[in-house]
Every structure is written in structure tokens, then in C-alpha cells.
């Protein structure tokens, strides 16, 4: 059971994942700047746009300050993934790593630093970063998830349902590489957000 999630990187995508997941799990966020971590710890992370709430989480600038997570979401830019993955080398052997860089060899980069189970993800959602502590949720298209190497599909399915419980759309797939991007004419069949979290709400 996934109870603790670490989100690496708090740009637009990382903030959308962290803010929403903080509604259903204990979330930590690994960021580069000390002032960013302090602001998130003091103010939480406000999600506006399609949803309205404040997610409360714990932020840090080094992996040494993180509690052991069940799931790690790598949400950095591709160019920053190598040092981000290296920061977890030798740590959290029971965690599952999920890449969100939409391919580009991200899984191989993470694999070079540990033997964790890895889930490949492609996300189509988007937003606008208003500040270190606020993100505007604009496009609510799904995240596709699939197993990498020998990761069980059951792990993928559990993560997809966790995202849906948090208010995000997700679609578990046997092979992300064979899927085609969604379009209005050919919508995908995704796991819809649960009513309790998909509705506009405030937890501030």
C-alpha cells in the first residue's frame, strides 16, 4: 500500500502531482532551493484553476532529510534527472521509482543508480506556475503509466488508482511505448478522479 510519496522537482508537473497527492498520502518534495523548501513547509502548495485547495507537505533540499517513501516521482527536467537520480543511490531500496519525462531514456538513467522497481509515465496534463507555492491546473488530460522491465503491472495499477483518488486522471497500460497520444476525436479510457477529490474544494 502506498502511503508515503516523494516528488522530486516542484516545477509545474511536480507541483501538480505533489499538491494533489498530498490530499491522499504523506507527501515530501525534494527541491533545489532552501527558500523554496521553507515556503512550501510554511504555506503549503496551493492548486488553482480546475481545482482549488491547499496541499500540505514537507519539503527538503537533500535526500538525507527525507523519510523513506513508498513511491518516488521524478518530475525534474530531463537535463536534471541524472543528479536527481544519483541523490537516491543506495537509499530507499523498497521504493518504486516513477519517471515522468515522457521517455527520452529516463528509465535507463534512474536504473543506473539503483535496482528499484521502475514505472514509466507519460503525462499530458499542464499548468502554470504562479509562485513557489501556487500552481494553476490548466489541462486535465491523463497520465499514462506502464511497467519498466520486471515491475509488476499490479504496481502500475495501484499508482494509477492513487492518482485518481487524488483528483488526477490516470491510465495504467501494459506497454506505454505502444500507446498513442490522446485527442478529442479519440479519447482514452482512463481512471477518472473520485468524486470526493475531483470536485472544487478548499482545504486551506
pTM for the full model? 0.89
CB neighbours (10 Å) of residue 180? Answer: 7
Report how far residue 170's alpha carbon sits from residue 123's, in angstroms, rounded to the nearest whole number. 9
pLDDT < 70: residue spans in the chain: 103-104, 179-190, 192, 194-204
**Structural domains of the chain in order of their starting residue, each with its CATH number:** 4-198 (3.40.50.720)
Q: What is the pLDDT of residue 191?
A: 74
Q: What is the pLDDT of residues 16-37, one digit of tens each?
A: 999 999 999 999 999 999 999 9
Half-sphere exposure at residue 45, Cβ-oriented, CA atoms within 13 angstroms = 31
By C-alpha distance, which of 90, 141, 138, 96 is closest to 116?
96
Grid cell, residue 173, equals 497500460
Amino acid at each position: 500500500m502506498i502511503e508515503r510519496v516523494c516528488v522530486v522537482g516542484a516545477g509545474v508537473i511536480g507541483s501538480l502531482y505533489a499538491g494533489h497527492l498530498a490530499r491522499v498520502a504523506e507527501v515530501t518534495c525534494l527541491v533545489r532551493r532552501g527558500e523554496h523548501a521553507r515556503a512550501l513547509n510554511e504555506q503549503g502548495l496551493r492548486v488553482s484553476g480546475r481545482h482549488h485547495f491547499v496541499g500540505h507537505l514537507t519539503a527538503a533540499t537533500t535526500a538525507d532529510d527525507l523519510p523513506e517513501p513508498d513511491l518516488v516521482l521524478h518530475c525534474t527536467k530531463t537535463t536534471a534527472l541524472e543528479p536527481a537520480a544519483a541523490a537516491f543511490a543506495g537509499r530507499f531500496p523498497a521504493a518504486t521509482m516513477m519517471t515522468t519525462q515522457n521517455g527520452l531514456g529516463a528509465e535507463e538513467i534512474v536504473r543506473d543508480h539503483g535496482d528499484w522497481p521502475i514505472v514509466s509515465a507519460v503525462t499530458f496534463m499542464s499548468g502554470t506556475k504562479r509562485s513557489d507555492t501556487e500552481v494553476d491546473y490548466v489541462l486535465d488530460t491523463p497520465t499514462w503509466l506502464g511497467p519498466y522491465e520486471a515491475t509488476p503491472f499490479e504496481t502500475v495499477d495501484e499508482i494509477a488508482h492513487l492518482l485518481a483518488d487524488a483528483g488526477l486522471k490516470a491510465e495504467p497500460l501494459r506497454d506505454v511505448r505502444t500507446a498513442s497520444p490522446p485527442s478529442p476525436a479519440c479519447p482514452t479510457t482512463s481512471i477518472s478522479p473520485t468524486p470526493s477529490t475531483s470536485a472544487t474544494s478548499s482545504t486551506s
